[in-house]
């Protein structure tokens, strides 16, 4: 898999997950599938990341840049949510990032880091 394919696949996944957050039967007590804490702002962030990924899949340079930025964003959110650091900012609870979301963000961030910095730039022949 190349960085372009990563951007396409993860863009599609995040776009779909963002839209699923707006489907009432799939959201229980503010959690997608009753497991992953979400809210409307969180869903919009997923949709924006998904669109960004799909738009970046058109060129290798844009896909690599997406993977790098995506990795940094998700690793920071994952670590923040995992350790539950408190913040004096009033926006601290705007987007829920704790619980199982932290594990998904860390996993996605690690995969994105590979495609941003470590993956070969061309698919094998």
pLDDT digits (tens, 9 = 90+) for 6-32: 999 999 999 999 999 999 999 988 889
Nearest to 74 by CA among 49, 38, 39: 49
Task: Provide the β-strand partners of residue 27.
Answer: 32
Q: Has residue 86 got a pLDDT over 70?
A: no
pLDDT bucket at 88, cuts 50 / 70 / 90: low
Average pLDDT of every residue of the chain: 87
Residue 49: closest CA among 4, 3, 15: 15
Q: Which residue has the higher pLDDT, 25 or 125?
A: 25
Question: Cα(first)–Cα(last) distance of the chain, in Å?
Answer: 12
Q: Which residues contact 61 (CB under 8 A, 6 or more apart)?
A: none
Q: What pLDDT is stored for residue 97 in this prediction?
A: 76
As a three-state string, the secondary structure of the chain is CCHHHHHHHHHHHHHHHHHHCCCHHHEECCEECCCEECCHHHHHHHHHHHHHHHHHCCCHHHHHHHHHHHHHHHHHHHHHHHHCCCCCCCCCCCCCCCCHHHHHHHHHHHHHHHHHHHCCCCCCC
Query: What mean pLDDT do residues 99-108 have?
Result: 89
The token duo for 48 is: 């924006």
């Amino acid at each position: 898999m190349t960085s372009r394919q990563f951007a396409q696949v993860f863009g599609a996944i995040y776009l779909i997950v963002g839209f699923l957050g707006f489907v009432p039967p799939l959201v229980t007590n503010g959690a997608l599938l009753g497991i992953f804490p979400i809210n409307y702002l969180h869903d919009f962030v997923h949709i924006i990341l998904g669109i960004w990924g799909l738009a970046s899949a058109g060129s290798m340079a844009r896909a690599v840049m997406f993977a790098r930025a995506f990795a940094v964003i998700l690793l920071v959110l994952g670590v923040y949510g995992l350790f539950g650091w408190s913040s004096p900012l009033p926006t601290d609870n705007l987007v829920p990032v704790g619980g199982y979301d932290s594990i998904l963000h860390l996993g996605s961030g690690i995969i994105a880091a590979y495609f941003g910095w470590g993956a070969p730039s061309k698919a094998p022949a």
